[in-house]
A and B are shown apart, each in its own frame.
Chain A
Amino acid sequence: AQKITQTQPGMFVQEKEAVTLDCTYDTSDQSYGLFWYKQPSSGEMIFLIYQGSYDEQNATEGRYSLNFQKARKSANLVISASQLGDSAMYFCAMTSGYSTLTFGKGTMLLVSP
C-alpha cells in the first residue's frame, strides 16, 4: 500500500521568499512516481512537477524544484521567489504500478505581501 504524509496543514511565507513544503511517502514498490499539484480556491488541480523513483537528479520546473531524498523517502517541494498567486493548497501524490494516485492531505500555503 502507498501512503503520502504531509505534516504541515498550513504554511506562511512572505512574497519573494523561498518556501519548502514537506512530503514523505511510503511504498514497497521499487518503481514509483511522485507528483506535486497546486489547487487554488477555484478547485482546479494544476500539475506542478514530477519525480520518478529512478531519476538521479532532482526535478525542476521554473520556480518549482523537488528535493528528492530517496533514502529518507521524502519529496519536498521548494518554491523559490514566492508570489501572491502561489497562495493555494498543495498536494503531494504518488503512483506506482498503473496510474492510481494516492494523495496527501495537503498543505495550505499563504503568501503575504
Chain B
Amino acid sequence: GAVVSQHPSRVICKSGTSVKIECRSLDFQATTMFWYRQFPKQSLMLMATSNEGSKATYEQGVEKDKFLINHASLTLSTLTVTSAHPEDSSFYICSASLTGDGSPLHFGNGTRLTVT
C-alpha cells in the first residue's frame, strides 16, 4: 500500500536553531500534503496544506514565517521550524492524499520535536 515516510522521528534542538522535517511519499505522487501538530493527549490540528509547486496554505493562527513549508516535488514536502522555542516542542505529523479527492490520507510516522 501507499507509504509516507517522515524523517527524523525524533529531534532535540536548542532554542534559536532551526529544524527541518521531511515528508516523502514513497510509491505515489502526492500533489497535496498536509502538516499537523499534536499536543500531548490532544487531537491533531492542521497547520498547513502544502501544494506542489505553489505556496502553502496556512491555517488561522499558524505563523507562516516560523513554520516554513516547501513542496518542491511531487514526492517531497518539508517543514522547517525556524528559531525554535520550547513552546514549539510537539509532535508533528504529515500526510499525503493519493488523489486529493477525499480518499484516505496516508500519514507519516511523525516527528517528536523537543526544544531545550
A contact residues vs B (CB 8 Å cutoff): 32-33, 35, 37, 42-47, 50, 91, 95-106
Within the assembled complex, what's the spacing in Å between the Cα atoms of A43 and B6?
12
Within the assembled complex, what's the spacing in Å between the Cα atoms of A46 and B97?
14
A99 to chain B, nearest CB (A): 5
Q: Which residue in chain B gives the minimum CB-CB distance to A102? A: B46
**Cβ-neighbour of A103 out of B32, B43, B110, B112 (below 8 A):** B43
- Known pairs A43-B93, A45-B93, A95-B102; A100 contacts B112 (CB<8 A): no
Question: Across the interface, do B43 and A99 meet the contact criterion of CB distance under 8 Å?
Answer: no
Interface residue SS majority, chain A: loop
Question: Across the interface, do A43 and B91 meet the contact criterion of CB distance under 8 Å?
Answer: yes
How many chain B residues sit at the interface, stated as a range, is: 20 to 34
Report B-chain residues with C-beta under 8 Å of the C-beta of A91: 43-44
**Cβ-neighbour of B112 out of A32, A43, A47, A105 (below 8 A):** A43
Question: Across the interface, do B102 and A98 meet the contact criterion of CB distance under 8 Å?
Answer: yes
Report A-chain residues with C-beta under 8 Å of the C-beta of B67: none
Question: Across the interface, do B110 and A44 meet the contact criterion of CB distance under 8 Å?
Answer: yes
Q: Which residue in chain B gives the minimum CB-CB distance to A6? A: B43
B6 to chain A, nearest CB (A): 9
Q: B77-106 CB contact bits vs A (8 Å, 1 = yes)?
A: 000000000000001010101001111111
B contact residues vs A (CB 8 Å cutoff): 32, 34, 38, 42-46, 49, 91, 93, 95, 97, 100-110, 112
Report A-chain residues with C-beta under 8 Å of the C-beta of B100: 98-99
Question: Across the interface, do B107 and A44 meet the contact criterion of CB distance under 8 Å?
Answer: yes
Can you offer 12 A-B residue contacts whose CB atoms are under 8 A?
A: A35-B105, A44-B108, A45-B93, A45-B110, A46-B107, A50-B103, A99-B97, A99-B103, A100-B49, A101-B44, A101-B46, A103-B44
Question: Across the interface, do B43 and A45 meet the contact criterion of CB distance under 8 Å?
Answer: no
A36 to chain B, nearest CB (A): 10
Within the assembled complex, what's the spacing in Å between the Cα atoms of A96 and B103?
10
Within the assembled complex, what's the spacing in Å between the Cα atoms of A2 and B70?
27
B37 to chain A, nearest CB (A): 12
A39 to chain B, nearest CB (A): 9
Report B-chain residues with C-beta under 8 Å of the C-beta of A104: 43
